[in-house]
Structure 1
Amino acid sequence: MSEPERQRHVRELMKARRDVKAAKASGDDDALRTARDAVNKAKIKLGERGPTWWGDDTDHNRKLVQNSPYADWWEAR
């Protein structure tokens, strides 16, 4: 991704986050859903969400630690 493209996606993300805040403040559930969807789309474009890019099936970010290969480490700390 080029730097100008990345910057555009970051601007989209920041606008969407502001929209989430405004929707929460106004109590508008439809606007909140739309804004959160925009946050998700921007994060996917930035590579922060979606399939892992390294492809070795080590993405445990969406699991509770006790349900991951790190459970023993977590208990021992």
Structure 2
Amino acid sequence: MNADQPPERTPDGHHVVIRGRKWRVTDPSIPEETAARLRRHLMSARRSVRSATTADDEQAERAARSRVNRAKTALGERGAPRWEQSGDERRRRWEAGLESLDAENGD
């Protein structure tokens, strides 16, 4: 794969394959504005993990990794597979995740 091509997808469309490893894709039913907000939370949390790791702050690292997990779960990349959930369950998943992350961030 090069930077100009999208990653390979599995035949069912549930995963991308990057360097031979399968990764679950973001739930395509999440409205784009909501998905963008969740991705911003995810990137912020990943930066926090790096900062906490560099500072050797285990408590901050645990908190940041928890935020990463909540963002990835809300995006449908972790937790119950979206293809096994109803539309309402999927919507509740991303709405609850975004509400939790916004509240923690003071938004």
Question: Normalised by the size of structure 2, how large is the TM-score?
Answer: 0.50
Q: Please, what is the CA RMSD of the aligned residues?
A: 0.6
Query: Separation in 2 of the partners of 1:53 and 1:45?
Result: 10
Residue 38 of structure 2 is aligned to residue 9 of structure 1? yes
**Within 5 A, what are the aligned runs for 1:43-58?**
43-55=72-84
Matches within 5 A, 1:49-68: 49-55=78-84
SS in 2 for 1:47: coil
| CA–CA distance in structure 2, aligned partners of residues 44 and 9 of structure 1 | 10
What secondary structure is seen at the aligned counterpart in 1 of 2:80?
coil
What is the aligned residue count? 55
Kindly report structure 1 stretches of 4+ aligned residues shifted beyond 6 Å.
none
3-state DSSP of counterpart to 1:54: helix
**Structure 1 stretches of 5 or more lacking a match?**
56-77
**CA drift at 1:54:** 2.0
Select the structure that is richer in helix. 1
The residue type equivalent to 1:22 in the other structure is S
Identity of aligned residues (%): 45
Deviations 1:33-54 (A, max 9, x none): 0000000000001000010122
> The residue matched to 2:82 in structure 1 has which SS?
coil
Greater gyration radius: 1
Query: Structure 1: how far apart are the matches of 2:83 and 2:33?
Result: 24
